[in-house]
Copies of this chain bind each other. A is one copy, B any other.
Amino acid sequence: MDTVDVFAALASPVRRELIHLLLDGAHSVNDLASHFEMRRPSVSEHLKVLRDAGLVSEQRSGRHRLYRLEAGPLMELSQWLSPYERFWRERLTGLRELVDEAGEDESEGRT
């Protein structure tokens, strides 16, 4: 049972597209595979990586397996990102000051 790092799992554009496709609900493997140029077994392998990273879960239903998005690892990613937020907030603050200087008519308050 290899446990896969969520960053490594998201490093592939194919896998990012896969979880994007799952935003509107669960899909079968064939359904997902139809969105790619590559062969179905390759998509299957990408799904395995996503499973090992906890990013998707499968639910068997007849001969289909429905894959659905799992939020946990993405939430962890968001938490990982939080220490860096101040960096771009500072940048946005700088931009905002420029904007404010350019047009001092409008004022709005939101942080």
What is the interface of chain A, defined by CB distance below 8 A to chain B?
Answer: 5, 7-8, 10-11, 13, 16, 19-20, 23, 69, 71-72, 74-75, 77-78, 81, 83-85, 87-88, 90-91
Across-interface contacts of A19 in B (CB, < 8 A): 84
Copies in the complex: 2
Across-interface contacts of A90 in B (CB, < 8 A): 71
Of all chain B residues, the one with the shortest Cβ separation from A81 is B78
Most buried by B among A5, A7, A13, A83: A7
CB pairs A–B below 8 angstroms (9 shown): A7-B16, A8-B11, A10-B11, A11-B11, A19-B84, A71-B84, A74-B87, A75-B88, A78-B81
